[in-house]
């Protein structure tokens, strides 16, 4: 009998660690560091690598050029403002790429139009059209960003999207630049564009959500549920202010919720190694409780949870750590741990103890645990040596 085949829609992963992520204070990278990360992103299966903002400095121009020369498996994208000089320099930096893309755009919210540009909606529209036309004279693949789209009037946003599609924009980036939107609002914005922009089938809608209210990942997922087919994101959620959408979170959400019928081409077993590489190269530690890649993401410390996980991993884990590039979950021993966790760890260290011995050892263990934040293997070895008489007496 034929098996039911579920058709999955592909979501393109556009990684901007090397651009939006690198803008973070203290995260600046040199060319060799950028190329190391670009290689890792290519291996990870990222569809588009935003390699940098070539007009911003000669160093960034060189780094983007280097990435465009070496990386053949991903689209290489360079950022520019809707300014001819920016676009020309971006085009020059990426021209050797196997698949080059120019990312150009302009602020479209009334706040940006009034305060940043002292301009009008109509003039911003003209600049957007001119920028896309100019970028198209260099490359086929042109992505347009409507900066602060999250706070842009939907009707104006739809008009500007329609006009840039007419002159050849292949991707429409709808950034929630300030991280303002609720997931329902951001999703509704994407739906509105799908329903109101003539010619929308000729372009890919893209999410680009910032994390000012901790909603970047939720907004991006809401966007793809409503029809966006590209997610812009970064490793470890790095990015301006509170950060950008975390790549590892989006990829694992889509994987864990297969009923959404959305998939990415990411090799999830490389998520933790790539996270570590980015953290080390940027000198930016990952918060321990960060989903998927934090050091506590697969650590269990309370007695109740430890007992459950030791009996059956799935009781407290929805992801197999192997799937995201870790060996296994961690059982952390603290004063909140129970006998099951102590016995488990002792067994791993080669000590099989009887129930009676465990009862005695547990009382001694609690004394150490109350004095320390975490009881490590060295403490347990010492405990075993110092309690020989109790155990065998």
* Chain residues that interact with Zn ion, rule: CB under 5 A: 20
- Which positions from 189 through 228 interact with ligand KIV, judged by CB under 6 A? 208, 210
| Whole-number Å distance between alpha carbons of 20 and 3 | 43
Exposure string over 254-272, b if 16+ CB within 10 A, otherwise e: bbeeeebebebebebebbb
Q: Name the binder of 345 from Zn ion, ligand KIV, none, CB < 5-8 A by kind.
A: none
| Whole-number Å distance between alpha carbons of 212 and 264 | 25
What letter does residue 332 receive in the DSSP assignment? -
17 vs 337, which CB is nearer to Zn ion?
A: 17
Q: Name the binder of 147 from Zn ion, ligand KIV, none, CB < 5-8 A by kind.
A: ligand KIV
The piece of 85-93, 170-178, 190-198, 212-220 that touches ligand KIV (CB under 6 A) is 170-178
| Whole-number Å distance between alpha carbons of 147 and 134 | 19
The piece of 29-37, 173-181, 265-273, 308-316 that touches ligand KIV (CB under 6 A) is 173-181
Q: Name the binder of 34 from ligand KIV, Zn ion, none, CB < 5-8 A by kind.
A: none
Site string for ligand KIV, 248-287 (x = CB under 6 A): ----------------------------------------
Chain centroid to CA 349: how far? Answer: 36
User: How many residues line the site for ligand KIV (CB under 6 A)?
Assistant: 8
| Whole-number Å distance between alpha carbons of 52 and 78 | 6
Q: Name the binder of 81 from Zn ion, ligand KIV, none, CB < 5-8 A by kind.
A: none
Smallest gap from residue 324 Cβ to ligand KIV (A):
26
Smallest gap from residue 129 Cβ to ligand KIV (A):
18
Smallest gap from residue 245 Cβ to ligand KIV (A):
10
Q: Are 105 and 144 contacting, i.e. CB atoms less than 8 angstroms apart? A: yes
20 vs 47, which CB is nearer to Zn ion?
A: 20
| Whole-number Å distance between alpha carbons of 93 and 89 | 6
Structure tokens at 303: 């007695």
Q: Which of 80, 173, 306, 329 binds ligand KIV (CB under 6 A)?
A: 173
Q: Which of 14, 134, 144, 145 binds ligand KIV (CB under 6 A)?
A: 145
- Which positions from 321 through 380 interact with ligand KIV, judged by CB under 6 A? none
State the residue for tokens 């790095």: 238
DSSP track, 250-290 = HHHHHHHTGGG-EE----GGGHHHHHHHHHHHHT-PPPTT-
The piece of 172-180, 316-324, 329-337, 346-354 that touches ligand KIV (CB under 6 A) is 172-180
Say whether residue 15 binds ligand KIV (CB under 6 A).
no
Alpha-carbon Rg for the chain, nearest whole angstrom, is: 25
Q: Which of 47, 147, 249, 307 binds ligand KIV (CB under 6 A)?
A: 147
208 vs 300, which CB is nearer to ligand KIV?
A: 208
**Where is 233: in which H helix or E strand?**
strand 230-233
12 vs 20, which CB is nearer to Zn ion?
A: 20
Q: Locate all alpha helices (DSSP H) within the chain, ordered by sequence.
A: 31-44, 58-70, 84-94, 110-111, 121-136, 154-166, 183-196, 216-225, 247-256, 271-282, 303-311, 339-348, 355-371, 377-386, 388-392
Q: Which of 74, 152, 177, 211 binds ligand KIV (CB under 6 A)?
A: 177
**Start-to-end C-alpha separation, the chain:** 66
Q: Which of 175, 187, 237, 243 binds ligand KIV (CB under 6 A)?
A: 175
Smallest gap from residue 95 Cβ to ligand KIV (A):
21
Q: Name the binder of 186 from ligand KIV, Zn ion, none, CB < 5-8 A by kind.
A: none
> How many helical (H) and strand (E) elements, i.e. helices and strands, does the chain have?
15, 12
105 vs 325, which CB is nearer to ligand KIV?
A: 105
Structure tokens at 116: 């940043």
| Whole-number Å distance between alpha carbons of 217 and 232 | 10
Q: Name the binder of 65 from Zn ion, ligand KIV, none, CB < 5-8 A by kind.
A: none
| Contacting positions for ligand KIV (CB under 6 A) | 20, 145, 147, 173, 175, 177, 208, 210
């Amino acid at each position: 009998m034929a098996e039911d085949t579920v058709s999955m829609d592909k979501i393109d992963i556009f990684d901007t660690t090397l651009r939006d992520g690198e803008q973070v204070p203290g995260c600046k990278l040199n060319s060799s560091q950028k190329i190391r990360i670009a290689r890792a992103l290519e291996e990870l299966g990222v569809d588009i690598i935003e390699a940098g903002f070539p007009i911003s400095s000669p160093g960034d121009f060189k780094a983007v050029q280097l990435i465009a020369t070496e990386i053949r498996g991903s689209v290489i994208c360079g950022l520019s403002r809707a300014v001819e000089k920016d676009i020309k320099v971006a085009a020059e930096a990426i021209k050797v790429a196997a698949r080059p893309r120019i990312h150009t755009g302009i602020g479209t919210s009334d706040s940006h139009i009034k305060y940043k540009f002292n301009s009008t909606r109509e003039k911003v529209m003209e600049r957007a059209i001119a920028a896309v036309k100019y970028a198209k004279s260099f490359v086929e693949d042109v992505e347009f960003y409507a900066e602060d789209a999250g706070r842009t009037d939907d009707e104006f946003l739809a008009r500007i999207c329609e006009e840039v599609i007419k002159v050849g924009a292949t991707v429409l980036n709808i950034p929630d630049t300030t991280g303002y939107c609720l997931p329902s609002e951001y999703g509704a914005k994407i739906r509105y564009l799908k329903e109101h922009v003539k010619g929308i089938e000729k372009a890919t809608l893209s999410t680009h959500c910032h994390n000012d209210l901790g909603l970047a990942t939720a907004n991006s997922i809401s966007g793809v549920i409503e029809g966006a087919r590209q997610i812009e994101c970064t490793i470890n959620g790095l990015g301006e202010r509170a950060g950008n959408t975390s790549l590892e979170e989006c990829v694992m959400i889509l994987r864990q919720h297969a009923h959404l019928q959305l998939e990415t081409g990411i090799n999830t077993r490389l998520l933790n190694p790539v996270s570590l590489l980015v953290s080390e190269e940027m000198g930016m530690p990952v918060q321990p409780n960060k989903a998927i890649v934090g050091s506590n993401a697969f650590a269990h410390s309370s007695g109740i949870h430890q007992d459950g996980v030791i009996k059956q991993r799935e009781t407290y884990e929805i992801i197999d750590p192997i799937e995201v590039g870790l060996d296994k979950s961690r059982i952390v021993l603290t004063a909140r741990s129970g006998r099951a966790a102590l016995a488990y760890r002792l067994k791993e260290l080669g000590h099989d103890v009887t129930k009676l011995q465990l009862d005695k050892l547990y009382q001694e263990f609690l004394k150490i645990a109350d004095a320390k934040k975490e009881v490590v293997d060295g403490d347990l070895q010492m405990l075993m040596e110092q309690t020989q008489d109790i155990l065998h007496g």
